[in-house]
């Protein structure tokens, strides 16, 4: 175990300009037993612990608020097993998503999740935050693809639910408690996850649409024509493209349009997939739903098209201070909030942009300004949350609540649910040492 | 609300010959509010309640053990909403699975689960038992497809988590607690579930294989050649076929073989799917993995082929007393246990059969005898459970534990897990009124 007793200024300024954690102790265990020792020690002495993976979260979930001990999974980066018939990967929590992706792809499989931060995020953090990302549409939630977890509880007990079985109905499915609970109920130390076979054919189409109504109709047509090979349907508005061009010097591959969509297909028959895709493109281009488009089949160009979408976050962070919202909304109302806010904020905002996982009803709404401004914040909140609540949406679709959003839980969950969450927290972490000030609202 | 104060002998003799429940009161509420009233009343007076859906479970989970009040969802059978863009169905817990299937199919969608008991099982019961079934391979677990639940807690509190969002990371995902907890933590009153688009082309192939090794190789070939259109891979042995022929007068559509597999494809392009399937069949027939086969594309014949697999349970029940095991095992060892038991039991067993969801690693192992025999049971148990535990399998893949299997939980879960389960039970149902004697082992 490495214990670094240094003054650490945990900075994650590129993503969250306002939050800076501060901690005197960073621990980097290598094994679950070491994690158990640490937690047993901390539990006995009432020391607060902040579990940390790749530190790429959007809501400050992995940042110590005061002087919590940072428990980093950085050195827990071993693959424990891979079964090349079933595609079940078992690994330690600190494995980096992109490295796992390479590992399973060499063996003919694919990680069931992918996200912009893949180069540094840890699989344990992905599971702890129930990360969604770019492959959700096709491979579904981690609640289905994670088969087992090993978790260390607040008192240091190792809970071994690290099964590799697709089906197991023996008692309550305890691992679900820890998926998405942001390290507040236990520390995930190992993950068993089902990887789908790597598709032999992948295509990406990047299209321009004249309006949001056309984006929606393109989505419907897409589902109908591409069916089971559709693996992603992402959208971004013209403002996003402007920022990506301006700050990252990336060039749009299609004519300027109010909206852009990125469609990915993944299938087992290149010829069949190409036919389906061309049938689809013919229809959307012929009917005017799409005004311009480009298609990529080779790896390099696919990556280039994806980078336009994946690097929006980076472009935004270079634009100034960013107010970030990650919302689930009924797909037909998804963009109304962006237009609405643009009108509401006027010149007070530098840019108001909308993009995200349209296929999952997930909007990333971002507002940039030269600097943090409390009056702009006041114009945004609680307005955005109230708007979302009226649509019965979610005020955090995939980013979680962490430290920054914990007080808005009430916009998406009733008081009875909050009460039960607090009871679960009290049951699993009676001393409140695990990731304090996160996920659940401060008590009244 | 209907209250029938009659002496009920709850019989489910066709499935579980040994268990007969007995209850003096059956309540059939129509609304969640009525369920809340009932539970509040029972909670105040320490009255035990046994929630009951279609009463089709295999482990006695819905049968009162002593004089528990039966809380039946039979009259809670209303569809509440269906969104024909997203495919999200919201309905009361007592809706019958097959009727929901018809409802969504008329609108171009499919229920993400299907099982033999569909004609009488309730969706609430499916969710409460985390049912697997025939479409699991393609559409995954209910933990991913169930988007929201309404649950009435032991004290009568209505917990509304009935969201229709694909993504929602606002706090702990409470609905997961109730999925698969067999009515022991709360009563599910309404379900929100994501239905996939109905595939435009469905094909079923029924094949004979010369050995289990060939079944496994057929499965590998199938995944490779059929990829994303594969929607089911079921197997049954020759003994199953004999019983289906003998007791149900169904005829095998292929030459007699040691093993049979049923493969279903569901896709969006009939022509493409047929090509993929014929490419696959050419390979498996050419290489001798499959010795005979038949293909169905029309609805009537597809149904006929499926009935060979779906009606095995019925054939078994006509063969005598049935010892039932529902196991998850590493797929390569799946059939070893069947052969092993056949040798071990010899003439003491009438038939030892193996069938199930091979694609999910799920074996249904059944042993028939003229009548219940305690010495035969002694030869089976704990042998089967110990065998499964050595393979790190699950002693209940999809049937749950209910009343009959609750004491075998320890073969698949460590003591730390059992302890946490008991703590959750105590938190959510401190008086123990909800489905007592189910799921968790009797305390020492």
The runs of H, that is alpha helices, within A132-231 are 136-139, 142-145, 175-178, 212-226
Mean pLDDT, 10 residues at a time, chain A of 444 residues: 42 44 90 98 98 94 94 98 94 98 97 95 98 92 97 98 96 98 98 95 97 97 93 97 97 97 95 95 97 95 96 96 96 96 96 95 97 96 98 96 96 98 98 97 74
Question: Tell me, what's the pLDDT at A3?
Answer: 45
Residue showing tokens 């018939």: A85
pLDDT at B421 over 90: yes
Question: Tell me, what's the pLDDT at B11?
Answer: 39
| pTM as predicted | 0.94
Considering only residues 21 to 80 of chain A, which have any Cβ-Cβ distance to chain B shorter than 8 Å? none
Structure tokens at A72: 């980093």
Considering only residues 127 to 186 of chain A, which have any Cβ-Cβ distance to chain B shorter than 8 Å? 129-130, 132, 136, 140-141, 143-145, 153, 157-161, 163-174, 176-177, 179-181, 185
CA torsion sign, A103 to A106 to A110 to A113? positive
Question: Do A172 and B180 make contact, defined as CB atoms within 8 angstroms?
Answer: yes
Question: Tell me, what's the pLDDT at A14?
Answer: 33
What is the edge-to-edge ordering of all strands in the sheet holding A88-92? Answer: A79-83, A88-92, A187-194, A146-152, A158-161
Test the A interface: residue of B82, B169, B194, B222 with most A CBs within 10 Å = B169
B85 and chain A in contact, CB less than 8 A: yes
SS3 at position A155: coil
Question: Tell me, what's the pLDDT at B8?
Answer: 37
What is the edge-to-edge ordering of all strands in the sheet holding A362-369? Answer: A292-296, A201-209, A259-267, A230-237, A351-357, A362-369, A321-328
* B404 min Cα distance to partner chain A (Å): 12
| Model pLDDT for residues A18-30, shown as the tens digit of each residue | 456 678 899 999 9
Q: Can you point out the beta strands (E) in A309-393?
A: 321-328, 351-357, 362-369
Average pLDDT over residues B147-173: 97
Question: Do A199 and B227 make contact, defined as CB atoms within 8 angstroms?
Answer: yes
Chain B positions in Cβ-Cβ contact with residue A145 (cut-off 8 Å): 140, 144
Beta strands at A187-194 and A88-92: parallel, antiparallel or unpaired: antiparallel
Question: Do A417 and B197 make contact, defined as CB atoms within 8 angstroms?
Answer: no
B85 vs B87: which has the higher pLDDT: B87
A213 and chain B in contact, CB less than 8 A: no
Considering only residues 269 to 328 of chain B, which have any Cβ-Cβ distance to chain A shorter than 8 Å? 269, 272, 275-276, 328
Q: CB-based contacts of A299: which residues, under 8 Å, 6+ apart? A: none
Q: What is the 3-state secondary structure (H, E, C) of chain B?
A: CEEECCCEEEECCCCCCCCEEEECCEEECCCHHHHHHHHHHHHHCCCCEEEECCCCCCCCCCCCCCCCEEEECCCCCCEEEEECCCCEEEEECCCEHHHHHHHHHCCCECCCCCCHHHHCCEHHHHHHCCCCCCCHHHHCCHHHHEEEEEEECCCCCEEEECCCCCCCCCCCCCHHHHCCCCCCCCEEEEEEEECCECCCEEEEEEEEECCHHHHHHHHHHHHHHHHHHEEEEEEEEHHHHHHHHHHHCCCCCCCCCCEEEEEEEEECCHHHHHHHHHHHHHHHHHCCCCCEEEEECCHHHHHHHHHHHHCHHHHHHHHCEEEEEEEECCHHHCCHHHHHHHHHHHHHCCEEEEEEEHHHCEEEEEEEECCCCHHHHHHHCCHHHHHHHHCCCECECCCCCCCCCHHHHHHCCCHHHHHHHHHHHHHHCCCCCECCCCCCCCCC
Cα B399 to chain centroid distance, Å, stands at: 5
Q: In whole angstroms, what is the distance from residue A431 CA to residue A39 CA?
A: 12
Residue showing tokens 């509420």: B29
Structure tokens at A425: 């927290």
* B227 min Cα distance to partner chain A (Å): 5
Nearest CB to B331 within list A85, A129, A398: A85
| Model pLDDT for residues B383-419, shown as the tens digit of each residue | 999 999 999 999 999 999 999 999 999 999 999 999 9
Q: What angle do CA A98, A102, A106 make, to 5 degrees?
A: 165
| Cα R_g (chain B), whole angstroms | 22
Q: Which residue is closest to A85 within chain B, CA to CA?
A: B220
Q: In whole angstroms, what is the distance from residue B226 CA to residue B413 CA?
A: 35
Nearest CB to B394 within list A170, A227, A409: A170
Beta strands at B8-11 and B20-23: parallel, antiparallel or unpaired: antiparallel
Average pLDDT over residues B141-150: 97
Question: Do A176 and B143 make contact, defined as CB atoms within 8 angstroms?
Answer: yes
Question: Tell me, what's the pLDDT at B442?
Answer: 86
Question: Tell me, what's the pLDDT at A23?
Answer: 86
| Model pLDDT for residues B216-254, shown as the tens digit of each residue | 999 999 998 999 999 999 999 999 999 999 999 999 999
Q: What are phi and psi of A153, to 5 degrees?
A: -80, 170
Residue A156 carries which DSSP code? S
Q: What angle do CA A432, A434, A439 make, to 5 degrees?
A: 90
Question: Tell me, what's the pLDDT at A85?
Answer: 85
Nearest CB to B421 within list A172, A397, A398: A172
| Nearest 10 degrees: Cα torsion A414, A419, A421, A426 | 170
Per the CB < 8 A criterion, the answer to whether A159 and A151 are in contact is yes
Q: In whole angstroms, what is the distance from residue B74 CA to residue B95 CA?
A: 8
Q: In whole angstroms, what is the distance from residue B56 CA to residue B16 CA?
A: 10
SS3 at position A196: coil
Chain B positions in Cβ-Cβ contact with residue A170 (cut-off 8 Å): 394-396, 401, 408-409, 411-413
Structure tokens at A382: 């609680």
| Model pLDDT for residues A249-302, shown as the tens digit of each residue | 999 999 999 999 999 999 999 999 999 999 999 999 999 999 999 999 999 999
Mean residue pLDDT across chain B: 94
| Model pLDDT for residues B341-378, shown as the tens digit of each residue | 999 999 999 999 999 999 899 999 999 999 999 999 99
Stated as kind and residue range, the H or E segment containing A33 is helix A32-44
Nearest CB to B171 within list A179, A224, A439: A439
Chain A positions in Cβ-Cβ contact with residue B153 (cut-off 8 Å): 416, 420
Which value does ipTM take for this structure? 0.94
C-alpha closest to that of B57 among B104, B138, B120, B108: B120
Average pLDDT over residues B73-95: 96
Q: In whole angstroms, how far apart are CA B401 and each of A147, B61, B62, B184, B327? A: 19, 7, 11, 11, 12
Question: Do A129 and B412 make contact, defined as CB atoms within 8 angstroms?
Answer: no
Stated as kind and residue range, the H or E segment containing A201 is strand A201-209
Q: In whole angstroms, how far apart are CA B230 and each of A54, B145, B279? A: 36, 18, 14
Test the B interface: residue of A134, A172, A216, A276 with most B CBs within 10 Å = A172
Q: What are phi and psi of B322, to 5 degrees?
A: -120, 125
Q: In whole angstroms, what is the distance from residue B137 CA to residue B5 CA?
A: 43
* A224 min Cα distance to partner chain B (Å): 8
Neighbours of B256 (CB within 10 A): 13
Q: In whole angstroms, what is the distance from residue A94 CA to residue A298 CA?
A: 31
Peptide bond into A382 cis (omega under 30): yes
Count Cβ–Cβ pairs < 8 Å, chain A vs chain B: 256
Considering only residues 5 to 24 of chain A, which have any Cβ-Cβ distance to chain B shorter than 8 Å? none
Question: Do B421 and A229 make contact, defined as CB atoms within 8 angstroms?
Answer: no
Q: Can you give the length of chain A in residues?
A: 444
Cα A1 to chain centroid distance, Å, stands at: 30
pLDDT at B286 over 90: yes
Question: Tell me, what's the pLDDT at B21?
Answer: 67
Question: Do B174 and A395 make contact, defined as CB atoms within 8 angstroms?
Answer: no
Per the CB < 8 A criterion, the answer to whether B171 and A418 are in contact is yes
Question: Do B171 and A227 make contact, defined as CB atoms within 8 angstroms?
Answer: no
């Amino acid at each position: 175990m490495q214990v670094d007793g240094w003054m650490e200024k945990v900075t994650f300024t590129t993503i969250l300009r306002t939050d800076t954690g501060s901690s005197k102790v960073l621990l980097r265990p290598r094994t679950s037993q070491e994690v158990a020792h640490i937690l047993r020690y901390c539990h006995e002495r009432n020391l607060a612990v902040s579990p940390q993976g790749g530190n790429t979260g959007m809501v400050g979930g992995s940042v110590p608020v005061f002087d919590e001990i940072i428990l980093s999974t950085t050195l827990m980066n071993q693959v424990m097993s891979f079964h090349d018939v079933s595609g079940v990967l078992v690994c330690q929590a600190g494995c980096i998503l992109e490295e796992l992706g390479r590992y399973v792809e060499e063996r003919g499989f694919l990680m069931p999740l992918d996200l912009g931060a893949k180069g540094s995020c840890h699989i344990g953090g992905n599971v702890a935050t129930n990360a969604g990302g770019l492959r959700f549409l096709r491979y579904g939630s981690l609640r289905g693809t994670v088969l087992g977890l090993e978790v260390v509880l607040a008192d240091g007990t190792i809970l071994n639910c690290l099964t590799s079985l697709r089906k197991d109905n023996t008692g309550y499915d305890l691992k679900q408690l820890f998926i998405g609970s942001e390290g507040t109920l236990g520390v995930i130390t190992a993950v068993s996850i089902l990887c789908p076979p790597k598709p032999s054919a992948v295509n990406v189409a990047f299209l321009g649409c004249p309006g949001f109504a056309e984006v929606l109709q393109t989505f419907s047509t897409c589902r109908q024509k591409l069916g089971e090979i559709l693996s992603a349907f992402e959208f971004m508005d013209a403002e996003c493209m402007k920022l990506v061009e301006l700050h990252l010097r990336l060039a749009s591959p299609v004519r300027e349009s109010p909206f852009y969509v990125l469609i990915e297909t993944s299938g087992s028959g290149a010829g069949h997939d190409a036919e389906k895709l061309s049938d689809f493109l013919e229809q959307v281009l012929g009917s005017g739903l799409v005004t311009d488009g480009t298609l990529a089949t080779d790896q390099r160009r696919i990556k280039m098209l994806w980078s336009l979408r994946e690097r929006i976050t980076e472009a935004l962070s270079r634009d100034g201070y960013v107010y970030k919202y990650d919302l689930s909304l009924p797909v037909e109302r998804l963009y109304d909030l962006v237009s609405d806010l643009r009108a509401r904020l006027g010149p007070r905002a530098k840019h108001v942009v909308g993009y995200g996982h349209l296929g999952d009803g997930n909007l990333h709404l971002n507002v940039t300004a030269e600097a943090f401004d409390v009056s702009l914040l006041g114009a945004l909140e609680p307005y955005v949350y109230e708007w979302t609540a009226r649509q019965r949406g979610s005020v955090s679709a995939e980013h979680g609540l962490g430290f920054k959003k914990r007080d808005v839980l009430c916009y998406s969950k009733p008081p009875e649910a909050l009460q039960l969450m607090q009871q679960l927290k009290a049951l699993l972490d009676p001393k409140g040492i695990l990731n304090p000030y996160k996920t659940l609202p401060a008590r009244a």
